[in-house]
A and B are shown apart, each in its own frame.
Chain A
Amino acid sequence: MADWDWDFTWEILPRLLAATVNTLLAAGIGYIIAMFLGLAFALAQRTPSNTLTMAVREAVEFIRSTPLVLQIFFVFYVGPEFGVVLSPWVAGMIAIGLHYAAYLSEVYRGGLENVPQGQWEAATSLNLSTARTYFRIIIPQALPPSIAGMGNYLVGIFKDTPVLSVIGVAELMQTANSIGSENYRYLEPYTMVGIIFLLISLPSAALLRSFDAWVRRKLGMN
Chain B
Amino acid sequence: MSYFEFLVAHGDLLLSGTLVTAMLAAVSIALAIVLALTAGLMRLAPAGPVRWVATVYIEFFRGTSLLVQLYWIFFVLPLFGLSLDKFTAGFIGVGMNLGAYGAELVRGAILSVPKGQWEAALAINMSPLTRMRRIILPQALVIMLPPWGNLLIELLKGTALVSLISVADLTFQAKQINATTFMSAKAFGTALIIYYVMARFIITPLMRWLERSMARKLGRA
Residues of B with C-beta under 8 A to A80: 184
Contact stretch, chosen from B116-124, B125-133, B155-163? B155-163
A1 in contact with B81 given A73-B188, A160-B65, A163-B67 (CB within 8 Å) = yes
Contact stretch, chosen from B42-50, B70-78, B210-218? B70-78
| B185→A78 contact, CB < 8 A | yes
A1 in contact with B171 given A65-B153, A70-B188, A197-B65 (CB within 8 Å) = no
A69: Cβ under 8 A from any B Cβ: yes
Q: How far is the CB of B166 from chain A (nearest CB, A)?
A: 13
Q: How far is the CB of A71 from chain B (nearest CB, A)?
A: 7
Q: How far is the CB of B36 from chain A (nearest CB, A)?
A: 18
Residues of B with C-beta under 8 A to A186: 71, 75-76, 79
A13: Cβ under 8 A from any B Cβ: no
Q: How far is the CB of A30 from chain B (nearest CB, A)?
A: 14
Q: Roughly how many angstroms separate A111 CA and B141 CA in the complex, as a whole number?
A: 26
B182: Cβ under 8 A from any A Cβ: yes
Q: Roughly how many angstroms separate A163 CA and B163 CA in the complex, as a whole number?
A: 12
| A66→B64 contact, CB < 8 A | no
Most A-side CB within 10 Å, residue of B159, B174, B192: B192
B146: Cβ under 8 A from any A Cβ: no
**Cβ-neighbour of B163 out of A69, A161, A162 (below 8 A):** A69
Give the interface residue-count category, chain A.
35 or more
B205: Cβ under 8 A from any A Cβ: no
| A190→B67 contact, CB < 8 A | no
B196: Cβ under 8 A from any A Cβ: yes
Scan B37-77; emit 1 where CB is below 8 A from any A CB, else 0.
00000000000000000000001100111111101100110
B88: Cβ under 8 A from any A Cβ: no
A219: Cβ under 8 A from any B Cβ: no
Q: Roughly how many angstroms separate A198 CA and B56 CA in the complex, as a whole number?
A: 11
| B188→A197 contact, CB < 8 A | no
Q: Roughly how many angstroms separate A191 CA and B158 CA in the complex, as a whole number?
A: 21
Q: Roughly how many angstroms separate A64 CA and B75 CA in the complex, as a whole number?
A: 30
> Which A residues are within 8 Å of any B CB, using their own CB?
1-2, 61-62, 64-71, 73-74, 77-78, 80-81, 159-163, 165-166, 173, 176, 180, 186-187, 190-191, 193-194, 197-198, 201-202, 205
Question: Which 9 pairs of residues, A with B, have the shortest CB-CB distance?
Answer: A67-B160, A2-B79, A65-B199, A77-B184, A159-B65, A74-B188, A197-B64, A67-B157, A162-B67
